[in-house]
Structure 1
């Protein structure tokens, strides 16, 4: 079945993506005011109800998918998506879990159900991997009753030393599969979630950040690390930047389709923008991406950025156990220490709940630095 994906580009245009086929192209060409845009890998159409209605009428039997940002503001599209979900459920037979084995057919159906609900490609890959491992666990333990199976799987992961976060993701993946793909009742996928560890993220001091940035020689790598820290970006957001996302006059940077499928704006540093301008002037990146990768038309991989960070860390002679994501943690912590309200930091980071942002209050030393240790006070009194 052909899949049709719709996303929001801005307040006036939508992005439409569908698998390549002569039939699909001929249908799209019947749509008024549409145009193919290579930089986004899809068709651009006007963001109007009339055009959306015409689009869906041209693809009546396609599986429909849309990004969450668009679904949150377009109730009509939500209704259309739900109607197609109901139709799809009525037209297909659910998988019998106890009689099934992991294979391409199951992976395809799981992927389809996840896409229909707006899950990101990264989450889809993770969920498919977790369900595949769940089947491997089940193959060797057929004697375990269905009611205890998920709990047994999560316990086996914990005994292998997997983190509570990894186990919780595995439970969520299996629960989704059993309920949405196998049509099993929630009680059949009973589980006990392990308690999350409350670890404080490691951050760099302002001095260490300067040393790190000064240690970068390559102009492309320099631009990447400058942006990651100065705008508080995730590595997945840095590699997907385009020059059109920069607004020098307003000193803002647009982060498109970030975690949760939402666009957000964050601060654009003057110093970082100068580094980016120099990189663009020297390297002249092409293919639509600010940081193109080796493969034509693809952006730089996240793993490449992680390696760049690790190498730069050694050059800067910094021995803390940190990753490139620590630059984002450092950005938030330094803002908090500088007196910026936590609500503003929440917006810049794109956190849905301020409780997520509040972890940085446990790291910031703005007030702690004013407190004198009782040992220092005792020594001062002794000297007196």
Structure 2
């Protein structure tokens, strides 16, 4: 089995990224390593940067590279431009980190001299050589194209920067029985309510953690999602069952600023802690699939489709701009597929 280990930075912390071809055995091995995490952005598993892990995965330190002085100034200028356009904090971080990676690769070349061929070389020599995901490559392309719209003198032709061929990946979906097991795994009411609300309303993790008590409208049985992804507000229906759970939770925990707060009153619950809550639930019920919080959102959409809900309503509930994004759930719905009789049964 071919693999490669490399030092990376994640949220300011040094980590060891492990690159390998898709293989269930290797995935299980990495998952069992203490402190292992999956990066959706980079499409890679990574481990704590410890002496033991460096020895185990044969890590040899290489000199750390940085953007040139001009590159650093351009990144800062780009960040201010994104702020002025009111991009979200997460988008600004993603785009500036992507641009930093690109300008570090060309830290000896003036920005005005960078060409389309340099973008191709970066894709081949950095992204492909390091087995980085197509989604990460797409983020780089987004950042480069947006950055060079702000540069006056440039040799880059924006319309000729190509994107990677989109991977046709189907969303991961749980059965209703699996969802029920996960949601009932915790006796802790706060943990149970958070996971239940994600599934009940099809929320993204960030949307859940940004909720405030005032966003729950019990008279109209809806939850208001303010400035969700893409700076869009939307509403989601609250079932009587989840509303009753929320009332019990509110009575006991009495949140102040955010609906779900961390250990410090008035601060939102940490996303990594919520991932850990899910991980503990999976362990309790013996589900071995690499389930993430987003799987609950995918399952919500698929189960709605299978129960006969119109795709247009599902699109509204999920906050998708394009119906094409929502249509992917038709490929994982088993409603029609289960009606097909295999010719094997007639043998």
Normalization by structure 2: what TM-score? 0.75
Tell me the equivalent position of 2:101. 133
Q: Report Cα offsets for 1:282-337 as digits up to 9, x if no partner.
A: 12222x10011234532112222111111111112112232110000000000000
Indicate the SS of the match to 1:265. Answer: strand
Query: Which residue is equivalent to 2:296?
Result: 327
Answer yes or no: is the 8 Å Cα contact 1:154–1:170 preserved in 2.
no
Partner of 1:294: 263
Gaps of 5+ in 1: 1-97, 379-384
Specify whether residues 318 and 289 from structure 1 end up closer, same or farther in structure 2 by C-alpha distance, changes over 3 A only. same
1:122-161 counterparts in 2 under 5 A? 122-139=90-107, 146-155=115-124, 156-161=126-131
Q: Match of 1:368?
A: 337
Give the CA deviation at 1:248. Answer: 2.1
Q: Per-residue CA shift, 1:330-357, capped at 9, x if unaligned?
A: 0000000000000000000000111100
Number of positions where the alignment pairs a residue of Structure 1 with one of Structure 2: 279
Question: Does the CA-based 8 Å contact 1:168-1:194 persist in structure 2?
Answer: yes
| 1:352 partnered with 2:300 | no
- The CA deviation at 1:150 is 1.5
Report the 3-state secondary structure (helix = DSSP H, G, I; strand = E; otherwise coil) of the residue aligned with 2:143: helix
1:180 matched to 2:146? no
Distance 1:129 1:145, change over 3 A: closer
Matches within 5 A, 1:1-384: 100-103=69-72, 105-139=73-107, 146-155=115-124, 156-181=126-151, 183-184=153-154, 186-187=156-157, 190-286=160-256, 288-295=257-264, 297-378=266-347
Q: Shift of residue 376 of structure 1?
A: 2.0
In structure 2, distance between residues paired with 1:319 and 1:301: 24
Q: Are residues 188 and 248 of structure 1, via their aligned partners in 2, closer, same or farther at CA, if it must alter by over 3 Å?
A: closer
What CA RMSD, in Å, does the superposition of the two structures yield over aligned residues?
2.2
1:9 corresponding residue in structure 2: none
Of the structure 1 ranges 184-193 and 312-321, higher mean CA displacement relative to structure 2 is found in 184-193
Query: Does the 8 A contact of 1:146 with 1:189 survive in 2?
Result: no
TM-score w.r.t. the length of structure 1 is 0.68
Structure 2: runs of 5+ lacking an equivalent: 1-66
